Amino acid sequence: MMAILIFAVSLVTLLMFFVSYCRSLMAASSRHELSAEVRDVTGIKEFPTARDYVKAMQLLRLCPERPEDRTGLRAVGLYYDILDMTQRSIARIIPSLQSWAEHERAGCASFAVVALDRCIAFNRESLAREGEL
């Protein structure tokens, strides 16, 4: 009984720290100014919306991965899936959760678009360096 209680409490704190960790990852990339190139590729006019996440991830798969972005993208990807599941299940009963989850998913999309932007810039630099050689 005690083990089940400890397990439940640890799961709650784990979820809380995980959400905060993902938010800190997203906050760290929030000051990034999106380039015109990434706006053209993704079709984003002003700010990324929740729907842009899938598109950004598909484009990221075409782009050679930057190792420093890998762990963050995985964590935010998992967070996005949890939010998606929340929207399809609990959020139907609690409507206020719906808008919160949508806002969070937009944050995930923004993180993925910034990663894509960095990836494009990184590859452009690599090509330029190869050209110089």
Partner 1 sequence: MPGPLAEIIWYLGTAFELAFVVCSIARKSFFRYFFLNVYFILAMVFSFGRHFVLSGHGWDSAEYTYFYFYTDALLTLALYLALISLYSRVFGELRFSRYLRTLAVLLLLGTAAFSYAVVAQSTERLSTGFAYELSQNLYFVGLVLTYLLWGAILKLGETRTRIVQIVLSLGLYFSAYAASYALVNFADKYSVVRFLGPLVSCLLPLSWTVTIWRHSEEARLVPARLVTVPR
Q: Considering the complex, what minimum distance in angstroms separates the CB of residue 128 from partner 1? A: 23
Among 35, 100, 121, 122, binds partner 1 (CB under 8 A): 100
Asked if 45 contacts 39 with a C-beta cutoff of 8 angstroms, the reply is: yes
- 34 by Cβ neighbours in 10 Å (0-12 / 13-18 / 19+) ranks as middle
If the CB atoms of residues 31 and 61 are measured against partner 1, the closer one turns out to be 31
Is position 99 an interface residue for partner 1 (rule: CB under 8 A)?
Answer: no
- 36 by Cβ neighbours in 10 Å (0-12 / 13-18 / 19+) ranks as exposed
Is position 24 an interface residue for partner 1 (rule: CB under 8 A)?
Answer: yes
Kindly report the length of the chain.
133
Is position 47 an interface residue for partner 1 (rule: CB under 8 A)?
Answer: no
Among 46, 64, 71, 123, binds partner 1 (CB under 8 A): 71
> Would you call 53 helix, strand, or coil by DSSP?
helix
Segment lying near partner 1 (by CB under 8 A), choices 15-23, 39-47, 82-90, 117-125 = 15-23
Segment lying near partner 1 (by CB under 8 A), choices 27-35, 36-44, 87-95, 111-119 = 27-35
Smallest Cα–Cα separation from 44: which of 129, 125, 114?
114
Q: How far apart are CA 51 and CA 130, in angstroms?
A: 35
**Interface with partner 1 by CB under 8 A: which residues?**
3-4, 6-7, 9-11, 13-14, 16-21, 23-28, 30-31, 68, 71-72, 100
